[in-house]
Amino acid sequence: MSTLPSVNLGSLLSALGNSGTGIDVSGAVSQILQTEAIPQQQWQAQQATLQGQTSAINTLEGLVSTLQTSLQGLGDPAGTASSMSATSSNTGVVSATAAPGTAAGNHVVVVNNVATTGAWYSDPVANSTTALTAGSFDIQVGSNTPTTITVGSGVNTLSDLVSAINGQNLGVTASVINDSTGSRLALVSTASGTANDFTITNDSSVGFTQAVQGKDASLTVDGIPISSASNSVTGAVNGLTLNLVSGSAGTEVNVAVAPDSDQISQAVSSFVSAYNAVIQNVNSQFAFDQTSNTSGTLAGDSTVRMLQDALLGSGSYSSSGSAIATLGQLGITMNNNGTLTLDNSALNSAVQNNFSAVQSFFQGTAANGFAAALNSQLSTFTDPIGGAFTVELQSISSENSDLQSQIDDFQVYLNSEQARLTTEYNQIDATLQQLPILEKQVAAELGQNTSGNS
């Protein structure tokens, strides 16, 4: 009988796994799935890039929108570039405000008397809940039909009268006034002027006294007599509001209307700041960082490049037919990096010495000045329907949705692979768990001993 070679099953089991303990099924499956998931990880990285681009475009679009808002204020004939100020020589008599676009000039105002508001008060009683004598009284506002107020039958105190009168919306306001003598009912017209004055008649209960008669204001503007029910007089001079403070017959007050250089300078300064915020953001996209060896998120974006060209081109804008034709004549110069610098002294000089030319530069003759021209260019980017930013964001969103669909579909595949591999490796593990028993059985069958002979 021939001799069989010795068989070391322990070495065999060691190559396959720890004898008696099997294999790490979860770890083995996880390693395989990590390799399988590389395409999914690449898609997710693309999504992160798209999300970064979306955020960067939204930020840039917000900055451009702010710039457009500043341009609209400069280009609107009723906006800040047309701001006017009104200065009174005696604010104790009359103050004034001027709407944008009000014609510059001087006006002489004389306030004979201010408008007054009609007021009545009752005789005093102990307090607001003291029972009143039953009776009635009539309230007539202007030429309206008198309204009878009955005291008694539920309306028995001053507090009751306040509720009853205010609830009828007669044009007067009722309230209780308290002092050392007790409580009184005070009635005041809701508006000043003769037409809003009111009377109280046929009083058989409360006892009223007239405090103030409602009268119209009387004044002259540039010698023209004017009456007004309100102390806020509008319409006498287009765009000018006169706020009457006190009557001073014979006292002439000069009201000067002139361009509000502070407001206009602030509006131009806001434009320069908004412009610089946009161009600095655009420049940052193309800047190369040697440390990270990268450029901005939108470095390869053609829309951003077009925006940069539009902004840089605005520096060479020139209008015709106006004493001020360029930004430089307003004290605005463009630096090498595309940002703007504002010389406030030069701007203020232009506003004070040639206000109409400043307006003409920004507004043109029919909303066709610098502000409208640049705003129109920017609208091609920010238009919510067909703007370049809108179209690009829609494209990114569509691409992101496609990637998400791929990721979701691939995840279904990975889940099925995980289930399949787990089943297979569990079967392998179960087999390996049985090898020590098989080793003993084989050894017994072979009659293996220390000599290794059969």
From the list 111, 96, 109, 112, the residue with the least C-alpha distance to 253 is: 109
Can you tell me the mean pLDDT for 152-171?
95
Reduced DSSP (H G I as helix, E B as strand, rest coil) percent helix, strand, coil of the chain, to 5:
45, 25, 30
Instruction: For residue 1, give the DSSP letter.
Output: -
- Strand arrangement, sheet containing 240-244: 94-98, 240-244, 232-237
- The per-residue pLDDT of the chain, averaged, comes to 89
pTM of the predicted structure, to 2 decimals: 0.69
Rounded-to-integer distance, Cα 416 and Cα 349, Å: 77
Q: What is the pLDDT of residues 248-302, one digit of tens each?
A: 999 999 999 998 888 888 999 999 999 999 999 999 988 877 777 777 888 888 9
Greater confidence, 379 or 25? 379
Greater confidence, 338 or 435? 338
Q: Is the pLDDT of residue 19 over 80?
A: no
**pLDDT at site 13:** 42
Range from 158-172, 229-243, 432-446 carrying the lowest mean pLDDT: 432-446
Q: Is the pLDDT of residue 11 over 60?
A: no
Residue 150, beta-bridge partner list: 136
Q: Is the pLDDT of residue 161 over 70?
A: yes
Rounded-to-integer distance, Cα 152 and Cα 133, Å: 8
Token output for 132: 């009143």
**pLDDT at site 210:** 97
